[in-house]
Amino acid sequence: MHAPTRFARPKIRGVSTYTVLGFAGYTIAAIGVSLVAVAWHIGQGDRLAAEIAPPLAFLAVVAANRQHFGRERIVFYQTASAAIVSAGLASAAIGGEAARVVDLATVGVGTFLVFGRAGCFAVACCHGMPARHGVVYGDAHVAVGFWARWKGRALWPTQLVEAAASGALVAVALAVGWDNPGVPALIYIVAYGYLRFALELVRGDSARPYALGLSEAQWTAIATLIACAAWRPGAITIAAAGGLAVAGGALASTRDRRALFLPPHLHELDRACRDAAADGGRHETSLGIAVSVHALPDARHDWVLSSSSPRWSAAAARRLAAALWTAHDVVEGRLAGVVHVITPGSRDTNAAGAARSGT
């Protein structure tokens, strides 16, 4: 167990750090877009399209998600794509420089993301999987929704990587494509698509849908690159879209092997563990992993994991155990498909009340 990372604070004087950095990011992005628009001699109509259409699209997407899911669900890729497309369409509708407006909107979104992901880092959303070194969250983050199972564990700092990369991509896109309308947007969108596709492999938050073994963001990354190839067909854009599509196909082909270790199943297995500790019964996940728990005479706990699934093995059990418990020993059972995970009772679930905390 590690002490929480010092600078990851969910609140600043009682206000959510995410909210504070979100407003700061929007303000700085708006100023940046205005300055670049002046430098590019963009007309007033196009400036309004670049500055007004994106936030309106953001609000529209959030409202649509709230209506559909019954709760607020902000997905960056959805809102960013809507913002950029809406700005370009608004410019085209008034006969403006649509390519330049798409550049402006993309630069604005990329700048905002630097602060947005810093906010995610502070409040522990969009976090990574366990790692040897990384960011550590504590009780204050559990109180605002962080998974208690990973409290005190080092996690991949996915938010900081994405924030730093987004800032660098904005700078590179402007430097390389300054005199070429549409190029800054292509550089940022294509590079970000690959970045996000890769980061999804070490994301640990579970509140994201998966299909065929790919996360929603990975599917969106493929779609955005295909859209770029359709917008500006060329060797680079077509190759980039094809490359990411091939990577997606590779992940889809291995989905059965990876399914046990994806965040949704890890959280489902955690709930099964808590239920087993609460009622002493045997509980099974949707992927066929059963769990029960027994107290040992020395106060340790014996978590019995079993499955008849072809994807199940002692190696899979060890990987799941490493994801769910910090201190543990894995012992293969005498019966085929049964594995025992022995954990210290003093620091693990030893009563129904403790089980509900997920520690």
Amino acid 64: pLDDT: 84
Give domain limits for the chain. 11-253, 261-357
Average per-residue pLDDT for the chain: 91
Is pLDDT at 14 greater than 90 in this prediction?
Answer: no
Amino acid 199: pLDDT: 97
Return the DSSP state at 260: G
The residues that bridge with 331 in the sheet, in sequence order, are 340
Is pLDDT at 356 greater than 50 in this prediction?
Answer: no
pLDDT tens digits for range 191-249: 999 999 999 999 999 878 899 999 999 999 999 999 999 999 999 999 999 999 999 99
Amino acid 189: pLDDT: 97
If you average pLDDT over residues 148-154, what whole number do you get? 94
Retrieve residue 299's tokens.
């106060």
Is pLDDT at 357 greater than 50 in this prediction?
Answer: no
Q: Which of 68-72, 150-154, 355-359 has the highest mean pLDDT?
A: 150-154
Amino acid 309: pLDDT: 86
CATH architecture of 261-357: 2-Layer Sandwich (3.30)
| Alpha-helix runs per DSSP H in 7-157 | 17-39, 44-69, 76-93, 98-123, 139-142
Is pLDDT at 262 greater than 70 in this prediction?
Answer: yes
Amino acid 359: pLDDT: 31
Amino acid 349: pLDDT: 40
pLDDT: is 4 or 161 the higher one? Answer: 161
Amino acid 188: pLDDT: 98
> Where is average pLDDT lowest: 29-43, 115-129, 156-170, 338-352?
338-352
Closest-CA residue to 158 (of 100, 217, 237, 242): 217
pTM reported for the whole predicted model: 0.90
Task: Give percent of the chain above pLDDT 70.
Answer: 96
Closest-CA residue to 88 (of 120, 37, 34, 49): 49
